[in-house]
Amino acid sequence: MTVLLWILAALALPFVLFAAWMAKVFLKEFFSGNAEAALEAEEAAATGAEKAAASAALGLLPAERQNTDSAGPLTPETTAALAAVRGGDWRPAADLMAAVGRDWERRSALTFRLADTAADDDAWLLAWESERPEDPDAAVVRARSAVILAWRVRGGQRAEHTTREQSDGFHRTLLQAREEIARAAALNPDDPTPYIAEIWLALGLGYPNAKMDDLWTKITARAPHHYEAHFSALQYWCAKWRGSERLATEFAERAAADAPAGSLLTALPLIAHFEHDDSDDTAADNTPEMVARVEAALKDAAAADPAHPRLPELRHLLAYYLHLQGRNEAAVEHFRLVDGHVDALPWRYRSDKAEYFCQVRDTAVMEAGAAR
């Protein structure tokens, strides 16, 4: 028996030695890999800190100090009106809406801000409507607020991740919003703002293309080169909603070509490209066509009214694409002009838009410095 055990032990010894050698190799590779990963992480953190320091040296703000609610600073009058309505006083908002008058770009921008606030708490809007029941300004704020509420009910997930309850509530609230939109349009027939709000019903309710064309005719008859209207309509024509990449690009190119300098509609081809670009590198961003689009947008931004409420949105896009095209000094100039506010494309779709904005900005700053 003892001899047999010795024989078995002798036979097993090579396997034991082999297993021990394999364990040694595994442990060596495991700890070596962990050490390498740790070193890479440490180097990435050091690089990130160096980039952030370079941006800080230019006076640019860190992620935690970026405003995530707007693309650029609001006017003092808008800020004051929003503060007043949050405190329950609607009169400064009513006065500001009256002062904006037929400046449709500013009217739609202000209406959205007020409507978004009313979607949180509309007590002040109810008081306004009670005192001035036929006021078209209150009516258009109500209409936009109803649309915002509908999209909040739906949530921000894709359709396959939206519950049946969310979907039903979304469509029910959109149908109610349609009544508010019709009322606002009737009270102020020249105003394109109610119809711009209706574009978001077109997305949610699935307007057929012909019905969207009819709605678009109503809008352009009142404001042919309205930025927010074009941005919203472009979303409708994107593949993710009711169109396709071809339809979105054709719409964007046509609008940009027909628009006067300073209208900012050169942003549309950039947005159409962004919405449909699934590539993992920057080759698609550096084609002659994309370089020409960025050049056109640069000229458009230079020709625009510095107080145009949508100018920061174009500057965010310019900063991004200038960086992707390796034109980092120019990119940094646009990053400077929008720094502090990050609610714009291309950052808006990220879960942490401030972090993404700073990551791209800091890289552009570093690369611009290295090129000098």
For residues 196 and 214, membership in a common domain is answered with yes
Whether 93 and 208 share a structural domain: yes
pTM comes to 0.85
Q: Do 271 and 306 share a domain, yes or no?
A: yes
Structural domain boundaries, residue 276: 54-72+244-371
**Helices 104-120 and 227-237, axial angle in degrees (round to 10):** 70
Q: How many CA atoms lie within 13 A of 217 on its CB side?
A: 6
- Quick one: 195 and 248 in the same domain? no
Measured distance CA(345)–CA(343) in Å, rounded: 7
Asked if 114 and 78 touch (Cβ cutoff 8 Å), the reply is no
Whether residues 123 and 83 fall in one domain? yes
Same domain, 213 and 277: no
Whether 146 and 255 map to the same domain: the answer is: no
User: Is residue 26, in this structure, part of any structural domain at all?
Assistant: no
Same domain, 104 and 194: yes
Backbone φ and ψ of 273, nearest 5°? -65, -50
Instruction: Give the closest residue to 273 by CA, choosing from 317, 312, 225.
Output: 317
Number of domains composing the chain = 2
| Residues 168, 298 within the same domain | no
Domain membership of residue 43 (yes or no) is no
- Does a structural domain hold residue 322? yes
Among residues 159, 190, 223, which one ends one of the domains?
223
> Would you tell me how many other CB atoms lie within 10 Å of the CB of residue 260?
10
- CB-CB contact of 225 with 261 (8 Å): no
Residue 238 counted as domain residue: no
**For the chain, what is the total number of helices (H) and then of strands (E)?**
16, 0
Q: Using the structure block, give the residue that is written with the tokens 């942490």.
A: 352
C-beta separation of 338 from 368 below 8 A: no
In this structure, are 96 and 61 located in the same domain?
no
pLDDT in tens, the chain (372 residues): 454 445 444 455 555 445 555 555 454 555 455 545 443 444 445 466 788 889 999 999 999 999 999 999 999 999 999 999 999 999 999 999 999 999 999 999 999 999 999 999 999 999 999 999 999 999 999 999 999 999 887 665 565 555 666 666 677 889 899 999 999 999 999 999 999 999 999 999 999 999 999 999 999 999 999 999 999 999 999 999 999 999 999 999 999 999 999 999 999 999 999 999 999 999 999 999 999 999 999 999 999 999 999 999 999 999 999 999 999 999 999 999 999 999 999 999 999 999 999 999 999 999 998 866
Strand partners, 310: none
Same domain flag for 81 and 209: yes
Residues 183 and 267 in one domain: no
69/62 Cα distance (integer angstroms): 16
